[in-house]
Amino acid sequence: MKKSFYLYVLTFRGGNWSDGKVRFAEEMFHEHNFPKQSSDFDELSTYIEIYATDNLTTEVFDELWDLYVGHER
């Protein structure tokens, strides 16, 4: 079974704060409404576009999505 995007991104928590992926993971962790079970690009990107913050950005989402898709191959 494919791991959700949320669970994949959590692996970046606790890293160097200068890394945008780490800041994204920390922010995502504190977003109670984040679609935690989803592996659907459209659902996740729509959420990020609506609830974007300084750390929860579409640019970092795209980078993490590429890593996530590559990781699951």
Count of structural domains within the chain: 1
In the predicted structure, residue 8 carries a pLDDT above the cut 80: yes
In the predicted structure, residue 1 carries a pLDDT above the cut 60: no
- How far is Cα 57 from Cα 49, in angstroms, rounded to an integer? 8
The structure's pTM equals 0.91
Q: Which CA distances in Å does 8 have to 5, 68?
A: 5, 7
Q: According to the 3-state scheme, what is the secondary structure of the chain?
A: CCCCHHHHHHCCCCCCCCCHHHHHHHHHHHCCCCCCCCCCHHHHHHHHHHHCCCCCCHHHHHHHHHHHHHHCC
Domain that holds residue 52: 5-71
- CATH of residue 33: 1.10.150.260
pLDDT band at 71 (very low <50, low <70, confident <90, very high): confident
